[in-house]
Amino acid sequence: MNTLKASILLFGAALLFSSSALAGNTNKGTLDLAEKVSVDGKPLNPGTYKVEWEGAGPTVQVTLLQGKEKVATFPAHLTEQANSNSANAYGSDIAPDGSRTLKAIYIGGKRDVLEIQPAGAPQQAATQGSN
């Protein structure tokens, strides 16, 4: 009887810890930049970056890493689309001088979109009203 209880306890603990580990990976993705862009005033060269964000939304803190080096941290607005993104992608704006600014990050396989807030822009608070 004690062996059965111990087995059940171990199985339950393993299940609990494995689901916690999986839940911790949900706020991560990859960004593949094909061109030089800037985000929050910092230039990013073409390459592959790890994307991590903290918070449940709508306002989150995004960190971009190249390898183990943190290259940028900035606020973003997390939204959810109706359908999953088919691949990693990003959106950018082109300035009159030809430079590009990162505007959005789409994580492949997820419905999440990280809409980057311009530097110095006030953070938007979610409000509800009735008409």
125 domain residue, yes or no: no
Would you state the pLDDT for residue 10? Answer: 44
Enumerate the β-bridge partners of residue 47.
33
Report CA-CA distances (Å) from 34 to 45, 65, 88: 8, 16, 12
109 domain-assigned: yes
Query: Could you tell me whether strands 37-39 and 28-33 are parallel, antiparallel, or unpaired per DSSP bridges?
Result: unpaired
Instruction: Identify whether 53 is part of a domain.
Output: yes
Task: Note the pLDDT of residue 118.
Answer: 74
How is residue 34 written in tokens?
């094909």
CB 126 within 8 A of CB 58: yes
Residue 119's pLDDT is what? 63
Which residue is it, tokens 């109706």?
82
Residue 124 lies in a domain: no
Q: Is residue 121 part of a domain?
A: no
- For residues 63 and 53, the answer to whether their CB atoms sit within 8 Å is yes
Considering the domain boundaries, does residue 86 fall inside one? yes
Predicted local confidence at residue 3, as pLDDT: 60
- Number of folded domains that form the chain: 1
The reply to whether the predicted model has a pTM over 0.85 is: no
Q: How far is it, in rounded angstroms, from Cα 114 to Cα 120?
A: 17
In a domain, 16, yes or no: no
- pLDDT (tens, 9 = 90+) of the chain, 131 residues, equals 566 554 554 454 454 444 444 455 479 999 999 999 999 999 999 999 999 999 977 999 999 999 999 999 999 999 999 999 999 999 999 999 999 999 999 999 999 999 998 765 554 443 334 34
Residue 73 lies in a domain: yes
Look up the domain containing 42 and give its range. 27-116
